[in-house]
Amino acid sequence: QVQLVEFGGGLVQPGGSLRLSCHASGRLLAFYAMGWYRQAPGTQRELVAEITSGDSINYGYNVKGRFTVSRDIAKNTLYLQMNSLKPEDTAVYYCYSQDWNTEYKSWGQGTQVTVSS
């Protein structure tokens, strides 16, 4: 029943920044985890960032130090601040949520991020 909708993708030059948003139809605190994956053409989907209950945060190796995940509980919104973007960050970015006591994930529709000059 949960719906996730991403916003904020687009074209940005190398070194630039974007802020992605993911609005959930349910309370963020109802989820065990929320976060972001990305997938570029011809590549496997990779974890970008994850935030779990208690505000534990994990980042993918390739984005650590450049990206920041956060959430606004009142707005039912998850964010991904993306700084110092590189061409290799080009991908479709997907928001997800994971329920307590299950490995099932709900996914947003994805938003395209293109880093190019």
Q: pLDDT of 21-67, one tens digit each?
A: 999 998 888 889 999 999 999 999 999 999 998 889 999 999 999 99
Q: pLDDT of 68-81, one tens digit each?
A: 999 999 999 999 99
- Residue 2: predicted pLDDT: 86
Per-residue pLDDT averaged across 78-106, rounded? 95
* DSSP output for 5-55: EEE--EEE-TT--EEEEEEESS-GGGEEEEEEEEE-TTS--EEEEEEETTT
Per-residue pLDDT averaged across 81-95, rounded? 98
- Residue 55: predicted pLDDT: 85
- Residue 53: predicted pLDDT: 84
Of the pLDDT bands very low, low, confident and very high (cuts 50, 70, 90), residue 103 is: confident
pLDDT above 80 for 1: no
Q: Which residues contact 18 (CB under 8 A, 6 or more apart)?
A: 8, 9, 10, 12, 82, 85, 113
Q: Which of 70-74, 87-91, 100-104 has the lowest mean pLDDT?
A: 100-104
- Residue 101: predicted pLDDT: 84
Q: pLDDT of 19-33, one tens digit each?
A: 999 999 988 888 899
